[in-house]
Chains A and B, each alone.
Chain A
Amino acid sequence: MSEYYFRTSDLSVGYGGKPLIHDIEIGVRAGEILTLIGPNGSGKSTILKTVTKHLAAVKGDSHIADASVNGMSYKELSKKLAVVLTERIKGELLTCYDVVATGRYPYTNTLGLLSQEDRDKVYAAMERVHAFELAEKDFTAISDGQRQRVLLARAICQEPEIIVLDEPTSFLDIRHKLELLSILRSMAKEKGITVIMSLHEIDLAQKISDKILCVRGDTIRYFGTPEEIFREEIINALYGIPQGAYNIGFGSVELPPPTGTPKTFVISGCGGGIPVFRRLQKENRPFCAGILYENDLDYPVARSLAAQVISETPFAPISDETYARALEAMKQCETVICVPFPIGDGNRRIADLIKEAEALGLLQEERSETHAGA
């Protein structure tokens, strides 16, 4: 018995016998969540389709609990693996109950009639995803968020050991995204169901996944835990985005910064500078931020958006050298914006910097209400 519940060995996936992505070697333990991330068209869906046997593997095989997927009949596979696809469910005149009930297919008799036990399981699955009240509604008449939940209920009542979901959060608003993912999370942890899915939202992928697979190009870029994968250089390379665009601390993305020599100098701290940075970025005005401690809330955003950042080692008093650099940079600028923030023993010299700015006649006091929402 391998330590992994689901694994692939030397798997190549693609269409018409032509490999698109090769040498896929991944392993997931039971109850873990594996998320595929990567740019559009990178082949995430192709991998998922091969895992679900909708597409024949070009080379290699996958194993569920050491049983070869290639060697499994569709019927055997349907008792182990359920899917939520991006594809629209066809069918007409179906209530949500009917759709969920199709999940019982592998377990019903020759004519597909549901037993009382099947019906109970259908309702239990709907309850599980908070879709109970949708049972008698027409499947075409519900919202995207409800539809995804009904499809998830369908997958759940198939009683699988693995659920494969292709971009389950597309078209969902933030509340429904969180709802769906937390259902997946609790299913994985409580019932030991292994989840394999693709996501576009890398911030959510980071938070929900146990394993991350980065797909780009003809082979797997990276495979590992979120801690290993969510590094600026990996994400930047994966999506082909410039340095600073992905903010590792917040797990969020930033638009490209204005380039050129700084025209504005921003003195800020404790998060108060963030709205100012964003405003300057929208005005396309290159700016210099300083003096920021490297653990300041403003610091990561400044690094993404500022043309120049003057920073100091956390918890140390501002050194002469840093101060001199800041002063030099400030003198090059046309204006200085100062956002009020606490000044204590460590950053005492910020006060000197503000005085200098005042003396140079560059200082604009930032009105506090403009950043009240920071």
Chain B
Amino acid sequence: MTKTEKTARLAARARYLAVFIGLIAAFAVITVWNINSGSVRIPVKEIARIIFLREGEQMNIIWKLRMPRIIAAAVLGGGLALSGFLMQTFFGNPIAGPFVLGISSGSKLFVAMVMIVALRYVNFVSSWMMVIAAFVGALIAMGFVLLAARSIRQMSMLLVAGIMIGYICSAATEFLITFAQDSDIVNLHNWTQGSFSGTKWEDVRFFSILILGCLLAVFLMSKPIGAYQMGESYAQSMGVNVKRFRVILILMSSLIAGCVAAFAGPISFVGIAVPHLIKMLLKTAKPILVIPASFLGGGVFCMFCDYLARTIFAPVELSISTVTAIFGAPVVIAMLIRRHGEKS
């Protein structure tokens, strides 16, 4: 190994380290900032006291309202980015993601159906039921996308198919909600627009275990994911059982996307924009780095957007997708233009 190679490797390592430190710092700052702001302002010193000693006047506000919401934004946002990264890997397309492919909307439709039925007849909805419904919805939407992908090889058509599936599911959801004018499902309307508000601690526990478990599993799959990024044929020649791996990818990405949709509704653009920005920052697409960095980045991005969603027009709250779209869509457009420029 020559000197230039050594310096190049060291430079790359320094870059990775800087990106991770930057992400963790941003994560910490935004967390505090988020706790700190709202209709009641709480000084940082007080926050530390409340979190670590669990005492203080505003403990209820922080502990019951703000903390679950912040964790939801962090974990579910990370999950979205992760799920987006997996779908981009699967389809070999940088603009694939749970929202554009209609997966989130599929989940939304199924969760809405289960909620309406359950609230009417059992008057109870458990986290389990929601996640299972969302997962089934995600898989069914994914099934349609895969069918479309099989008959039409063009990548742009895949996205068009996904967007159409998303619209159909959203329309069906709206239809259900309009005709199920039950007082219990007023909240449902809020949720179908995507929101982290109203997250409860038992939800937090549930989705944190699920999503962090998925994160660990995906991280351990970095090696075959890296091989798969080179194309199926090459992955197979490196010893990956491609057929089995494809199934795992689909199940994993649908499970994560479904789980996020079950608790926060469909949230746009996080799944595409965050992995892309992370790759640009790291200057590599190696899964072993991109997976944890995307998860962190997705958390930071969603916490930031959620902060804006609840504070800009306070006391009126924006839906989270409104904010993520404003920041995420330009990133996607910039990426498309850049890619096109590279090709021609």
A: which residues have CB within 8 A of B?
52-54, 73-79, 81-83, 85, 87-94, 97-99, 102-103, 105-106, 108, 110-113, 119-120, 123, 135-136, 140, 158
Residue on B nearest A83 in the bound complex, by CB:
B237
B193 CB-CB contact with A under 8 Å? no
* B238 x A110 contact (CB < 8 A): no
List the interface of chain B (C-beta within 8 A of A).
1, 4-5, 8, 92, 94, 220, 222-223, 226-227, 229-231, 233-234, 236-242, 279, 283-286, 288, 342
In the assembled complex, the CB of B84 is this many whole angstroms from the nearest CB of chain A, namely: 15
Residues of B within 8 A of A110 (CB): 220, 223
Whether A93 contacts B285 in the complex (CB less than 8 A), given A85-B234, A87-B233, comes out as: yes
Question: Which one of B1, B94, B283 has the greatest number of beta carbons of chain A within 10 Å?
Answer: B1
Chain A neighbourhood of B94, CB < 8 A: 92
Distance in Å: Cβ of B262 to nearest Cβ of chain A: 30
Which of A53, A74, A106, A140 has the most CB atoms of chain B within a 10 A radius of its CB? Answer: A74
Task: State the CA gap A92–B227 with chains docked (Å).
Answer: 12
From B1, B239, B283, B288, contact of A74 by CB (8 A): B239
Q: Which of chain B's residues have a CB closer than 8 A to the CB of A140?
A: 342
| Known contacts A93-B284, A112-B222; is-contact A136 B8 (Cβ 8 Å) | yes
**Given A54-B233, A74-B241, A102-B227: A112 and B288 interface contact (C-beta under 8 Å):** yes
CB distance from A336 to the nearest CB of B (A): 58
Across the A-B interface, the 10 shortest Cβ-Cβ residue pairs: A78-B239, A112-B223, A75-B239, A105-B238, A90-B231, A91-B229, A83-B237, A92-B285, A93-B285, A91-B230
B254–chain A nearest beta-carbon distance, Å: 22
Pair A89/B231 contact, Cβ less than 8 Å: yes
Given contacts A77-B239, A93-B283, A136-B5, contact A108 B233 (CB under 8 A): no
* Supplied contacts A89-B231, A91-B230, 10 more A-B pairs, CB within 8 Å: A74-B236, A74-B240, A81-B237, A90-B230, A91-B231, A103-B238, A111-B223, A120-B1, A135-B5, A140-B342
Known: A53-B236, A78-B237, A136-B8. A123 touches B1 (CB 8 A): yes
B342 CB, nearest partner CB in chain A, Å? 8
Q: Which residue in chain B gives the minimum CB-CB distance to A116?
A: B1
Q: Would you call B92 and A90 a contact (CB within 8 A)?
A: yes
Closest Cβ neighbor of A86 among chain B residues: B233
Residues of chain B contacted by A73 (CB below 8 angstroms): 239, 241
List, sorted by A's number, 19 A–B pairs whose CB atoms are closer than 8 Å: A52-B237, A74-B241, A76-B239, A77-B239, A78-B239, A85-B233, A85-B234, A87-B233, A91-B231, A91-B285, A102-B227, A105-B223, A105-B227, A105-B238, A112-B223, A112-B226, A120-B1, A136-B8, A140-B342
A54-B236 in contact given A111-B222, A112-B222, A135-B5 (Cβ < 8 Å) = yes
Contact B237 A82 (CB under 8 A): yes
For the complex, give the distance between the alpha carbons of A79 and B239 in Å: 8
Decide if B285 touches A102 in the complex (CB within 8 Å): no
Question: In this complex, which of B220, B222, B230 has the most chain A Cβ atoms within 10 angstroms of its Cβ?
Answer: B230
Q: Write the nearest CB–CB distance from B128 to chain A, whole angstroms.
A: 31
Given A102-B227, A136-B4, A111 and B288 contact (CB-CB distance below 8 Å)? yes
Residues of B within 8 A of A99 (CB): 230
Instruction: Determine the chain A residues whose CB is within 8 A of the CB of B222 once the complex forms.
Output: 111-112
Q: Determine the chain A residues whose CB is within 8 A of the CB of B8 once the complex forms.
A: 136
In the complex, which residues of chain A have a beta carbon less than 8 angstroms from the beta carbon of B342? 140
CB–CB A89/B284 < 8 A: no
